[in-house]
Amino acid sequence: MNMEGQDSPVIDKSLSSKDLPNKHLIQLCHYKQKSNWDCGISCIAMVLSNKYRDHFIKNISKICKIEGFNKSTWSIDLCYLLKRYNIEHRYCTITIGVHEGYRGNSFYHNILSKDEYRVNKRFKEASKNNIYIENKSVTLREILEHLINGPVIVLTNARLLCCDICKFNKVTSELRKCLPWPITYQGHYIVLCGYDIYSQKVYYRNPTFNDHVCIMPVLHFDQARKSYGTDEDIIFVYK
C-alpha cells in the first residue's frame, strides 16, 4: 500500500492536551534475534516479564516445536505464544487466515505451501483457545492511545523501516521521495514502544539490532505497517 498521493498521517497535537502526554517511552528489555526467521519470537521475548522471558528464552526451540511453527512464524503464532504465558493482548488484522492473493508474492511463495493449512487452522481454533481477533484496520490514534497501557507488536515491511538515530534505511527513504520505485515486501516484526507528539516520531525496538531504541517519522511508520503483505497485523499487549 503506497501512501503517495494520500494525506500524510500525522499525530494530532490536540491529543497532548489531556488525553495523552506529549512524549511517552516504555522501557523494555531488548532481545536480538539469532536468525533471519525469529524476529517475531524475539519481539515476544521483549514484551514478557523477566520471569517468563527467562523461561521462554531457555526453551525457545522446544516451544517452537510444540507450537508447530518451527522456523516459520505468523502473527497468529505470536498470539498463541502470548496466551501460553497468560499475557493479555488484542490482535487486529484486515485478513482472517491466509490471504489468497499472496500465492504470487515472492516473499510468501515458498511459505504458503507448508504453512497454509496450519495457519488457517490456528485462526479457526483461536476463539476456543481464548484468543480474540478483530478483523479491522487500526488507526494511528488507537495505536498511540494504547501505548500508555503497553507495547505493540507490529508486522512491517522491513524495506520501509528507517531510523533517525542509526540511519538504518535513511538514505533509501530519502531517495524514494525523489525517485519513487516499486518496493518488494520483506516481512519483519518490531515492537513499538513510544511516541513524541511534537516531533511526529514513534519509538520502536528492532530485533535485528543490538540494544537501542530506534526513532522513525510517523509517516514512514504508517507506510511500513500498511505495506502490501502485512495484512496490517498488529498485536496490542497489555502490561
- Residue 179 or 183, more confident: 183
**Residue 123 carries which side chain, given as an amino acid letter?**
F
Q: How far does CA 198 lie from the centroid of its chain?
A: 23
For residue 215, the model assigns a pLDDT of 97
Burial 200-216 (b: 16+ CB within 10 A, else e): bbbbbbbbbeeeebbbb
Sign of CA dihedral 193, 10, 208, 164: negative
For residue 107, the model assigns a pLDDT of 72
pLDDT value at 110 more than 80: no
- Mean pLDDT (whole number) for 198-203: 95
pLDDT value at 112 more than 50: yes
**Domain residues of the chain, as ranges?**
13-97+112-237
For residue 102, the model assigns a pLDDT of 76
CB atoms within 10 A of CB 73: 23
Cβ contacts of residue 124 below 8 Å, gap of 6+? 97
* This prediction's pTM: 0.88
Specify the range with the lowest mean pLDDT, choosing from 27-31, 154-158, 168-172.
168-172
3-state secondary structure of 90: strand
Using 50, 70 and 90 to split pLDDT, how confident is the model at 166? confident
3-state secondary structure of 237: strand
Domain spanning 13-97+112-237: CATH 2.60.120: no
For residue 10, the model assigns a pLDDT of 67
CA 225 vs CA 50, 158, 198: distances in Å: 28, 9, 21
